[in-house]
Amino acid sequence: MLQCSHAPMFPCSNVPMLQCSHAPMSNILLISGSPRKGNTEYILSAVKKILKKAGYQPELVLLRKEKIKECLGCSVCQAGKPCPLKDEMGRLNQKLLTADYLIIGSPTYFNMISGLLKKWIDRTNPLYFKNQLEGKHGSIIAVGAAGRQSIGKAGENIKHFFDIYKIITDQIILFEAEHPDDVKDNLEYQKKIRQFADGVIRGI
């Protein structure tokens, strides 16, 4: 009989699948705010792989591959009407709504998140007015080359986004890396990614 494959810390990992009470129903949405195929994307892909192995349903959205127009500031969504911009954001906001858990990663640019991630954040505004993300849980990944103080600011940016939406922050994790493969080539960081993913599973 199939054994439960959920996180090893669950006592049910040794019981048959049918008796397992931790159904892998959780939709986990991972968002990469990096414009390149580098560290943020690598970390999120590795976390996704671990979550999938544990029986969850993770989906990774690479914002660099999405066509997202900038918020016009027209405030039409504030009146409860649909956003007049026609692009991928309708679909992406729908993913946010149906996600049970959110993981957002960004490179640090000038002590802030990337412009790409900020553009996406601004376009989630239609959800804000209906308070539609309140009570979800999430975790944060920030990457940068100029030390923890600088990278921490990008992490804080994402935390502010979570706070505004009343999303509960489970973890904020920072990686020091400059070149695209720096995290991939670092053994210590592989352990850190594993621990982060375990923390996500505990928070679900």
Ligand X SMILES: Cc1cc2nc3c(=O)[nH]c(=O)nc-3n(C[C@H](O)[C@H](O)[C@H](O)COP(=O)(O)O)c2cc1C
Residues that bind ligand X (CB under 6 A): 34, 36, 38-40, 107-111, 143-146, 150-151, 177-178, 180
Q: State the nearest-atom distance from the C-beta of 186 to ligand X, in Å.
A: 12
> Hey, how many other C-beta atoms are within 10 angstroms of the C-beta on 71?
19
Q: State the nearest-atom distance from the C-beta of 133 to ligand X, in Å.
A: 24
The structure tokens listed for 7 are 């996180």
Q: State the nearest-atom distance from the C-beta of 118 to ligand X, in Å.
A: 13
Nearer to ligand X, 36 or 130 (CB): 36
Nearer to ligand X, 107 or 126 (CB): 107
Instruction: Name the E strands within 22-130.
Output: 27-32, 57-62, 101-107
For the chain, what percentages of helix, strand and coil (3-state, to nearest 5) are there?
A: 40, 20, 40
The structure tokens listed for 85 are 């911009």
Sheet holding 57-62, edge to edge: 57-62, 27-32, 101-107, 137-144, 168-176
Q: State the nearest-atom distance from the C-beta of 193 to ligand X, in Å.
A: 13
Nearer to ligand X, 178 or 185 (CB): 178
Nearer to ligand X, 56 or 161 (CB): 161
